[in-house]
Amino acid sequence: MPRTVHVPARRFAGWLERFEANNPDGPQRLVSVEEPLPVPLVVLLIRRGGYAVAVADGDGEDGPRLAAHKVGTRYVQSRTAAGGWSQQRFARRRAGQADALVAAVQDHLARILAETAVTPGAVVTGGDRRLIAQTLEDPRLNALIDLPTRSYTDIADPRRAVLDETIGRATAYRIVIEDG
């Protein structure tokens, strides 16, 4: 069964050398190696109730450093078991709260892009696909549409630690290994 590992770019050469030395004829083999995304990097993580947006650039000790970021929460009511008129009313309320969340994220991301004045090389998204698509519909974010993109739908609630982990994953080699 294949498994995926993420190896930071600065450690990749040594990792690959050790892997090949330890597995000359198996039992493990490389299935694929995906290059890290280029930096500067725009990150957009959004789920109902929380968001994280950032621009990562330059080189820090543990990878790219955050040039600017914003992490926050917005209340979006969860689904209800009520039926009839109540169900429709709660659905409208949820939709309105989700729209307010998207508008806030669009504003924060546009502000961060303007403040940092970097030309992003790639975009990393994570979380709710529908909310991500709605966020990227903003004309202020058109510059992000044609950039290389990597998506992570398996993120936890967007917090600073999740933001840092996502940046680490995006700027590392993504290697798929088949265990024999």
Domain ranges of the chain: 39-168
Q: Give me the pLDDT at residue 31, please.
A: 92
Give mean pLDDT, residues 56-61.
76
**What pLDDT, in 10s, does the model give residues 31-40?**
999 999 999 9
Q: Give me the pLDDT at residue 60, please.
A: 65
CATH code: domain 39-168 is 3.30.420.60
The structure's pTM equals 0.85
User: Which secondary structure element, helix H or strand E, spans residue 109, and what is its range?
Assistant: helix 84-116
**What pLDDT, in 10s, does the model give residues 1-32?**
899 999 998 899 999 999 999 988 878 899 99
Give mean pLDDT, residues 151-165.
91
Q: What DSSP letter does each residue of 115-176 carry, written as one string?
A: HH----SEEEEEE-HHHHHHHTTSGGGGGGTTS-EEEES---S--HHHHHHHHHHHTEEEEE
pLDDT of residue 146 exceeding 80: yes
d(CA 2, CA 21) in angstroms, rounded, equals 20
**What pLDDT, in 10s, does the model give residues 87-133?**
777 777 777 788 889 999 999 999 999 999 889 999 999 999 999 99
Least confident range of 42-56, 73-87, 159-173: 73-87
How would residue 77 be classed by pLDDT, with cut points 50, 70 and 90? Answer: low
CA distances from 13 to 9, 39, 94, 157 (A): 8, 19, 49, 33
